[in-house]
Amino acid sequence: MKRTAKREFKYEAIYKAALKVFAEYGFKKATIEDIAAELDTAKSSLYFYVKDKRELYDKAVAYGLRLWQNKVRDAVAAETDVVEQFIIMAHKAYEYLAEDRHLQRILMRDPALFPLFSSQDPYSDINRDSIAMLKSILQRGIDAGRFRPIDIDGVAQLLFAFYVMLIQKTYMFPEGALSRIMFKDGVDLILGGLIAETARKKGRLPTKPKPATD
Amino acid sequence: MKRTAKREFKYEAIYKAALKVFAEYGFKKATIEDIAAELDTAKSSLYFYVKDKRELYDKAVAYGLRLWQNKVRDAVAAETDVVEQFIIMAHKAYEYLAEDRHLQRILMRDPALFPLFSSQDPYSDINRDSIAMLKSILQRGIDAGRFRPIDIDGVAQLLFAFYVMLIQKTYMFPEGALSRIMFKDGVDLILGGLIAETARKKGRLPTKPKPATD
DNA sequence: AATCGAATATATGATCATATTGTTCAATTA
DNA sequence: TAATTGAACAATATGATCATATATTCGATT
């Protein structure tokens, strides 16, 4: 194995350990020693890989967010129909945090990591990519005559904001089953607003996959 | 003038003065003395009307929120067509804070007063009424065959959450013109998702009023 | 290049003195 | 009787000081 690849794995191991400890104790209470213990190493060793505690936190969270994004991207790539892609994207992105409890806990403790306001988004580069994915689907949907011609930029921002809000409602400030109903109704309403007249005549709205039962 | 009516005016004057001072200094830095000075009275006099500083703040904000709600309700009542009512409701509710700078500043300083999460809403009774207004319009739209039959409860919650998000984006954490574009695109998209097929055939989507230029 | 233990710098929390401001109340006014 | 007041009082915020915990550095070692 190449040296650089080996280092990549080391970084992944460090980020995973950090995510686990930060999820359990939060940034403030988690100590470098806790994370070092999780990795069976001396705390000073961590400083070979990261500058300080804050950078370890930031990098670990970025790693976690990229895993999420990649999972959605892969699921979208496995579909061919653009409307199905839209639906899959929405469902995979929405359901992901149910599987990644560490990331969920970290976001719960620290909602500023996934904020509604892009100006205060510490990971705007990552989320820009997500919005680009969304725009690409909208663009291809319009080109194929499946979606009505809409303001792609504005609608993409809007849908992303709506999505962030639902993630917050569901995973970061959960208050019951209402947010899942809102997700369902929201996808329906938005698809209803997006689908072109001509496509509408061909048949019912496309079927949605069953949400994962966990 | 009746004694009770006189007292009502006194309360209004107190709430207005409180809103002004709290808007300028925030809850922490505003003093009871500042508010008393605004009213040309002794600070101890205020304790005849309210229990303590916190109650004064809460009641004053509630008063401000009710003014907002009543303005929307009156505007809706002046329309007859249910689709127009929906549009007017959205625009009046959205534009209001541009006119009420004191309330806007208070919300900016203290976003928890108008939160995205109803479980932590200190004024849930007021906002319940707003959602009821929204549901009433949806219900009548469906009954009249102008809106598609949708899950009224879920959609009303969803639209209200979307609305709160836009208020926050526009007035509480403003970051440029994007939020107004999102409002415009959002109303278009949602109306597109709401309007019934039969209504759609009759003509274009209803025209929207020009947003107030300020 | 990577790891380590020990030394040092920094952050955090507890304690207390002091100042500000919130609240009460008996007396007074309209 | 309802409303207002100034003065007394209590509660709370603020800032200084110090002790402890933990983040970070560094020279030695593998």
Other Cβ atoms within 10 Å of A157 Cβ, number? 22
Please check the confidence at residue B213 and state whether its pLDDT lies above 90: no
- Which chain D positions come under 7 Å from a protein C-beta? 2-7, 14, 22-27
Tens of pLDDT, residues B68-107:
999 999 999 999 999 999 999 999 999 999 999 999 999 9
Token duo for residue B17: 């003065």
Tens of pLDDT, residues B98-142:
999 999 999 999 999 999 999 989 999 999 999 999 999 999 999
Tens of pLDDT, residues B42-69:
999 999 999 999 999 999 999 999 999 9
B11 CA → C19 C1’, Å? 32
Please check the confidence at residue A202 and state whether its pLDDT lies above 70: no
Closest by CA position to B173, among listed B165, B181, B161: B165
Select the residue from A175, A181, A182 to test the B interface by mutation, using most B Cβ atoms within 10 A: A182
Contact status, residue B23 vs residue B106, Cβ threshold 8 Å: yes
B35 CA → D12 C1’, Å? 19
* Rounded average pLDDT over A169-180: 93
pLDDT number for residue B207: 43
Closest by CA position to A206, among listed A90, A106, A95, A118: A90
Which nucleotide C1' is nearest B49 CA? D3
User: Is B119 within 8 Å of chain A by CB?
Assistant: yes
**3-state percent breakdown (helix, strand, coil) of chain B, nearest 5:** 75, 0, 25
Average pLDDT value over all residues in chain B: 91
Please check the confidence at residue B214 and state whether its pLDDT lies above 80: no
pLDDT number for residue B113: 97
Other Cβ atoms within 10 Å of A89 Cβ, number? 21
Binned at pLDDT 50, 70 and 90, residue A30 comes out as: very high
B207 CA → C19 C1’, Å? 61
Phi, psi angle pair for A96, to nearest 5°: -50, -45
Contacts of A92 (CB under 8 A, 6+ apart): A71, A72, A75, A76
Q: Which of residues 151-180 of B touch strand D (CB under 7 A)?
A: none
Binned at pLDDT 50, 70 and 90, residue A199 comes out as: low
* Rounded average pLDDT over A98-114: 96
Select the residue from A118, A185, A191, A197 to test the B interface by mutation, using most B Cβ atoms within 10 A: A185
Stated as kind and residue range, the H or E segment containing B214 is none
User: Is A158 within 8 Å of chain B by CB?
Assistant: yes
Tens of pLDDT, residues B133-172:
999 999 999 999 999 999 999 999 999 999 999 999 999 9
pTM: 0.90
Q: What percent of chain A has pLDDT over 70?
A: 90
Tens of pLDDT, residues A51-97:
999 999 999 999 999 999 999 999 999 999 999 999 999 999 999 99
Give yes or no for CB of A43 within 7 Å of strand D: yes
Which nucleotide C1' is nearest A43 CA? C4
Which nucleotide C1' is nearest B47 CA? C23
